[in-house]
Amino acid sequence: MAEYLTLKKSNCKNCYKCIRHCPVKSIRFSGNQAHIIGDECILCGQCFVVCPQNAKQIVDGTKNVKVLLQTGDPVFVSPAPSFVANYGGIGIGAMRSALKKLGFFDVEETARGASVVKTEYERMLREDNRDIIISSCCHSINLLIQKYFPSLLEYLADVLSPMQAHCQDIKRRYPNAKTVFIGPCVSKKDEADHYEGFVDAVLTFEELTAWLENENVEIENETDHDEESRARFFPTTGGILKTMVQDAPGYTYLALDGVENCIDALEEIKNGNIHHCFIEMSACVGSCVGGPVMEKHHRSPVRDYAAVAQYAGKRDFNIAQPEALSLRKSFEMIDRKLQMPTDTEIQTILRQMGKFKPSDELNCGSCGYNTCRDKAVAIYQGKAEISMCLPYLKDRAESFSDNIVNNTPNGLIVLNENLEVQQINSAALKIMNIRYASDVLGEQVIRILDPKIFMDVLQTGRNVRDKRLYLAEYKKYVEQTVIHDAEYHLLICIMRDVTDEETEREKKESISRQTVEIADKVVDKQMRIVQEIASLLGETAAETKIALSKLKESITDE
């Protein structure tokens, strides 16, 4: 399948909203980016509608249409009947005038083809003796059955869509004509490309609006009315049934919109619970007026239905009905080639996601999948990653942060701006001799610490870092850091217990003082000894001098 929906990678923010709204989960996540899986996609366009970052974009077909206009062949436009809802107050005449200014040869309503299709549905119910008939106007529903319910293809009406029937009629009347369908649908681009010979190009309403604006062409605000236009009801829920004569004996007529509702009905058919029924199915809620490209930011289901109902006539278009054989259309099974994991493989993946027992499988849907087991299957098929599980990430982050908080030697206390304790770790409990965290959680910090430093930080807006103080009540020295997180309105207090360092420092100072005192005493004592020695030496020298003098005199006398 060609790519009609693409991704602007830089805008994908890993929110998984597209997965949550994708009815068939045909989106793969890799490298924190969403990728649409063409083999599984039914082109309902819901990912395009719900993407909050506008990361999904529809491939523009305007250039292809401009090439058709340059061929010289007459180019007809077949606008979907929902155009009256998209362009309020605009009739087919005003649409024709505007589009001719862009170079188109003529404009005819797709509703004319819808009238042909509904007449064929009526014939099938009367003559073909079928058990169940599912309308095949919506290409997304056709893809849903072809890819996900191939066993039910026998019930899908093998009839051209209104777009194809109308364009076939145009080319029958104008053999060299080119046809361009304009509508609110992405899947019509695929239908036109897959079934060649009917539609040469498809534009969305958004593409047409942009083209008109670039060419400064305005659609005049005028509405015409035609009583022979009941098929204009087709783009509303139950619109096909509203145009049909519901007189086939023994049949129930039912209209469903939204892929989820259609899937439920298909499951019932598959299980053999539905018989003798004609089912109108539309992928979009509200049918085509709820299409993904109905100027997607300006949708109003009630107003849009009212616009279609007001414009629709009471009788059918006066159109010659083609032979039934010329309206035949075949549908083949489309193999998605997905391998399903065994239960053991699913359990292995669940354990990797932190799901060890059924109660761990929260099935919260935050990853986009309905259940944890669905998510495990998607992981096995390479469509999802384990990290897409929000509870898993939350638990892992909390476990990681708790390990840090509870094992750091520093005391941590978190307060709100009312100075109430919100969190306290084991190191802080130890510093302040608190037995249980529950004793202080939710309490004012004044119960355990002087609040002045916290009040100062709040009032001044200046954080305090590594302020050393003595907690007299706890007989502890700490270096305290207080930080105000204004974004989350929290005060974070970090305390490093420096009691041992302070005690060691005081011990060293005491030893130093004692050493100095001892040294002073030793010096004093040594000085005294020196003085005593000097004194003794002085007396001895004097006595020696006297003795020698006497000896000298004695020798001289002799």
Domain's final residue, options 383, 407, 431: 407
Q: With contact defined as beta carbons under 8 Å apart, do 114 and 235 qualify? A: no
Q: Distance (Å, rounded) from C-alpha 407 to C-alpha 414?
A: 16
Q: At what angle do helices 62-69 and 205-214 cross, to 10 degrees?
A: 60
Domain match, 347 and 479 both: no
**Phi then psi dihedrals of residue 335, to 5 deg:** -80, 125
- Residue 400, pLDDT > 80, answer no
Q: With contact defined as beta carbons under 8 Å apart, do 482 and 464 qualify? A: yes
- Residue 422, pLDDT > 80, answer yes
| AA identity, residue 378 | A
Which residue range is the domain that position 426 belongs to? 409-497
Number of domains in the chain: 3
Q: What is the pLDDT of residue 321?
A: 93
DSSP letter for each residue of 419-438: -BEEEE-HHHHHHTT-S-GG
Q: Distance (Å, rounded) from C-alpha 249 to C-alpha 271?
A: 24
Q: Distance (Å, rounded) from C-alpha 495 to C-alpha 505?
A: 19
Domain's final residue, options 451, 481, 497: 497
Q: Distance (Å, rounded) from C-alpha 29 to C-alpha 285?
A: 26
Domain match, 137 and 245 both: yes
Nearest 5°: CA angle at 151, between 145 and 154? 80
CA dihedral 229, 234, 236, 239 (to 10 degrees): 90
Q: What is the CATH number of the domain that holds 472?
A: 3.30.450.20
Domain match, 234 and 121 both: yes
Closest CA to 240 of 232, 229, 228: 232
Asked whether residue 18 is domain-assigned, the answer is no
Q: What is the CATH number of the domain that holds 352?
A: 1.10.15
Asked whether residue 164 is domain-assigned, the answer is yes
| AA identity, residue 271 | N
Asked whether residue 528 is domain-assigned, the answer is no
Q: What is the pLDDT of residue 51?
A: 87
Which residue(s) pair with 210 in the sheet?
none
Closest CA to 497 of 428, 450, 543: 428
What are the tokens at 333?
């099974």
What are the tokens at 558?
């002799």
Q: What is the pLDDT of residue 505?
A: 83
**Phi then psi dihedrals of residue 174, to 5 deg:** -130, 90
Return mean pLDDT, the chain: 89
Nearest 5°: CA angle at 32, between 18 and 377? 65
Q: Distance (Å, rounded) from C-alpha 407 to C-alpha 400?
A: 11
Rg of the chain over all Cα atoms, to the nearest angstrom: 44
Q: Distance (Å, rounded) from C-alpha 146 to C-alpha 141?
A: 9
Asked whether residue 540 is domain-assigned, the answer is no
Domain match, 323 and 217 both: yes
Q: Distance (Å, rounded) from C-alpha 72 to C-alpha 95?
A: 22
Q: 124-133, 322-331, 405-414, 425-434: which range is least confident on average? A: 405-414
Q: Distance (Å, rounded) from C-alpha 473 to C-alpha 508?
A: 25
| Long-range pairs, 473-482, Cβ under 8 A, ≥24 | 474/431, 474/432, 474/433, 475/499, 476/431, 476/432, 477/501, 477/502, 478/411, 478/431, 480/453, 482/453, 482/454, 482/457
Residue-wise pLDDT tens digits, 440-478: 999 999 999 999 999 999 999 999 999 999 999 999 999
Asked whether residue 478 is domain-assigned, the answer is yes
Domain match, 152 and 296 both: yes
Domain match, 357 and 300 both: no
Asked whether residue 547 is domain-assigned, the answer is no
Q: Distance (Å, rounded) from C-alpha 183 to C-alpha 351?
A: 47
Domain match, 121 and 134 both: yes
DSSP H/E element including 495 = strand 490-497
Asked whether residue 208 is domain-assigned, the answer is yes
Domain match, 356 and 489 both: no
pLDDT tier at 556, thresholds 50, 70, 90: low
Within a 13 Å sphere around the CA of 374, how many CA atoms are in the beta-carbon half?
A: 16
Q: Which residues of 231-259 are buried (b: 16+ CB within 10 A; e: fewer)?
A: bbbbbbbbbbbbbbeeebeebeeebbbbb
Q: Distance (Å, rounded) from C-alpha 10 to C-alpha 476?
A: 53
Domain match, 133 and 243 both: yes
Q: What is the pLDDT of residue 554?
A: 67
Domain's final residue, options 497, 525, 543: 497
Q: With contact defined as beta carbons under 8 Å apart, do 181 and 160 qualify? A: no
Of the two residues 301 and 548, the one the predictor is more confident about is 301
**Distance in Å from the first CA to the final CA of the chain:** 150
Helices (H) and strands (E) in the chain, counts: 19, 16
Domain match, 382 and 277 both: no
Q: What is the pLDDT of residue 398?
A: 64
Residue-wise pLDDT tens digits, 325-363: 999 999 999 987 778 889 899 899 888 888 888 888 888
Average pLDDT for 183-198: 95
DSSP H/E element including 482 = strand 476-485
Q: In the 8-state DSSP scheme, what is residue 254?
A: E
Q: What is the pLDDT of residue 547?
A: 63
Domain match, 367 and 436 both: no
What SS3 state is found at 109? Answer: coil
Nearest 5°: CA angle at 332, between 330 and 334? 150
Give the whole-number percent of the chain exceeding pLDDT 70. 93
Distance of CA 5 to the CA centre of its chain: 17
Domain match, 362 and 450 both: no
Q: Distance (Å, rounded) from C-alpha 149 to C-alpha 136?
A: 14
Residue-wise pLDDT tens digits, 141-170: 999 999 999 999 999 999 999 999 999 999
Q: Structure pTM?
A: 0.74
Asked whether residue 553 is domain-assigned, the answer is no
